[in-house]
């Protein structure tokens, strides 16, 4: 049992580092900013899919067949809850002070991963469904956002597009891209009736149904702060 505890702790730390959640998040904003956009696009989407599957397998009691692993997973679940809550707070506050678009998306990724892990903390089938649904929406919106950035930066005058204030040029060049970007951002902010709203709604319902009322309240209140930096970006489009 002790060896299982130590082993799972090291596995958790490794997965937290790859996901970029607090306190292993310090690298993610710098890597997002310093990497070419297409490379950032790649490791924002593909690695998280496999890591997310591993997390579901390790921390979903209804999927575990070993009694020892079920007990170990139950003991370490409060750690996942704590990291999820801190990640949402740090990511939301950090995104408010970012002028660089890729750094803002990095902190946004921290927030979204926090919500995904929070749904897994429900420990139910509904929680697994909520986390999978939220994750799918997050991946699709990320693909959409990075595709728009890659499309816009094809043009020579916008090849160095980095800061939020530079996005005002998108409206004057292509209104369709501007509208698509606004819809994607509103969806990630969780504005109804877009898909991102239902992703967050399922997370809240899964937490409430499992008796985690304070976690659900915390997630709802944090979503208000999360909307601020998405709307702030929309203001420049």
pLDDT digits (tens, 9 = 90+) for 49-88: 777 877 777 766 555 555 544 555 566 677 778 888 888 8
Which tens digit of pLDDT belongs to each residue from 116-150?
888 887 777 888 888 888 888 888 888 888 888 77
- The confidence score (pLDDT) of residue 23 equals 80
- The confidence score (pLDDT) of residue 68 equals 46
pTM of the model: 0.83
Helix (H, G, I), strand (E, B) or coil at 139: helix
Q: What band does 2 get if pLDDT is binned at 50, 70 and 90?
A: low
- The confidence score (pLDDT) of residue 75 equals 63
The token duo for 183 is 């819809």
- The confidence score (pLDDT) of residue 167 equals 63
In this structure, which long-range contacts are made by residues 88-93, counting pairs with CB atoms below 8 Å and at least 24 apart in sequence? 88/114, 88/115, 88/118, 88/218, 88/219, 88/222, 88/226, 89/222, 90/22, 90/25, 91/22, 91/25, 92/222, 92/225, 92/226, 92/229, 93/225
Domain boundaries, the chain: 2-234
């Amino acid at each position: 049992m002790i060896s299982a505890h130590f082993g799972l702790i090291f596995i958790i730390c490794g997965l937290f580092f790859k996901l970029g959640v607090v306190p292993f998040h310090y690298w993610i904003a710098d890597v997002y900013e310093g990497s070419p956009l297409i490379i950032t696009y790649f490791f924002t989407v593909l690695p998280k899919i496999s890591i997310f599957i591993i997390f579901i397998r390790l921390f979903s009691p209804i999927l575990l067949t070993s009694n020892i692993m079920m007990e170990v997973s139950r003991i370490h679940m409060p750690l996942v809850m704590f990291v999820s809550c801190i990640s949402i707070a740090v990511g939301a506050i950090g995104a408010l002070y970012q002028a660089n678009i890729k750094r803002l998306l990095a902190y946004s990724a921290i927030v979204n991963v926090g919500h995904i892990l929070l749904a897994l903390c429900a420990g139910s089938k509904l929680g697994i469904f909520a986390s999978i649904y939220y994750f799918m929406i997050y991946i699709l919106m990320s693909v959409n956002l990075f595709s728009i950035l890659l499309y816009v930066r094809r043009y020579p005058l916008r090849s160095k597009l980095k800061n939020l204030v530079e996005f005002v040029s998108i409206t004057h060049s292509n209104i369709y891209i501007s509208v698509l970007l606004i819809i994607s951002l509103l969806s990630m902010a969780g504005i109804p009736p877009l898909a991102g709203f239902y992703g967050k709604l399922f997370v809240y319902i899964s937490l409430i149904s499992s008796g985690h009322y304070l976690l659900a309240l915390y997630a709802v209140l944090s979503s208000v702060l999360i909307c601020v930096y998405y709307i702030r970006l929309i203001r420049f489009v």
